[in-house]
Structure 1
Amino acid sequence: MELDVYASELRRIRDTVDRLLDERLRGEPLDGPNSALSKSTLEIASTVKRILKFRDLRIEVFDAQLFADPAWDMLLEIFLCDLTQQRISVSAACAGGRVPPTTGLRWAKLLEKRGLIKRRNDPLDSRRVHLSLTEEAFTKMRILMEHRLAGVT
């Protein structure tokens, strides 16, 4: 049940980010930290959002366990947050992996061990930890998404 709450909250946040990014892509003014995002960054963010939305649709149509790929799902969620200059907590990233929190934590530890993500303590709340991609992982994800934008599948 707890995973459903996290997934629901993550969808709500993603819908808000989607709306803001869509406004930016249409050229509407956007205030806040996202206002400095380049057009290519917004296009990549839009591509990632479409991938995440398709994943959610796939889960609604088929059994989610058929397509379990928590590491990739977590990387996508963290990449989107890094790309749009947002922070993502460990619990939100685990929920983004569509797995129970304990499983998500194991995957987060593996991703950290492999040098793909890093943890940062929240300076305002010592109980919270945020995740971000390492520079190398961010570059690799960006290259993958640029290939996707170019039509390479």
Structure 2
Amino acid sequence: MNNFSCICTKSSFANRIEWIKCEIKNKELRKNLLPDIMLGDPAWEMLVELYLARLESRKVATKELGIVAAVPPTTSLRWIAHLQKTDLIVRESGEDKRRSHFALTELGLFKIESYLSKVSSI
């Protein structure tokens, strides 16, 4: 098996977690094939990560969102603020006030699920 083995196909939509992981691998593939071209949308990368986190029942911290989006911390914070303002993500309060976690809102979940449904029917 080579690095080119993960191409999201209609059959891979049966398992949403596998599809999202495939989407992440495809991003890595694009980055390796086109290293001099900035690909991707930080907001989309963050939404995909939060969707995967929801499926895997885990929390995502502010710093992690910046890492998956591959942007500097200040850019990450701007995108997080934008996603909150558009009601796609929400800050979750926890016991440790020093660390913020985020999750998809119901609207954010609906939008991602709608996208997956439309893409799976292609």
Question: For this structure pair, what is the TM-score category when the shorter chain's length is used for normalisation?
Answer: 0.7 to 0.9
Structure 1, unpaired ranges of 5+: 1-39
Match of 2:27 among 55, 62, 78: 55
Determine if the alignment matches structure 1 residue 94 to structure 2 residue 72. no
What count of residue pairs does the alignment treat as equivalent?
A: 109
CA distance in 1: counterparts of 2:84 and 2:76, whole angstroms: 12
Aligned residue type for 1:135:
E
Aligned to 2:102: 131
Say whether the 8 Å CA contact 1:44–1:146 is kept in structure 2: no
CA distance in 2: counterparts of 1:64 and 1:133, whole angstroms: 31
Q: Which has the higher helix share?
A: 1
Aligned to 2:76: 104
Cα 1:65–1:109 shift into 2, 3 Å: farther
Secondary structure, in 3 states, of the residue corresponding to 1:54? Answer: helix
> What's the TM-score once normalised by structure 2's chain length?
0.81
Determine if the alignment matches structure 1 residue 66 to structure 2 residue 38. yes
Q: Note the aligned Cα RMSD (angstroms).
A: 1.5
Structure 2, unpaired ranges of 5+: 1-13
> What's the TM-score once normalised by structure 1's chain length?
0.66
Cα 1:95–1:64 shift into 2, 3 Å: farther
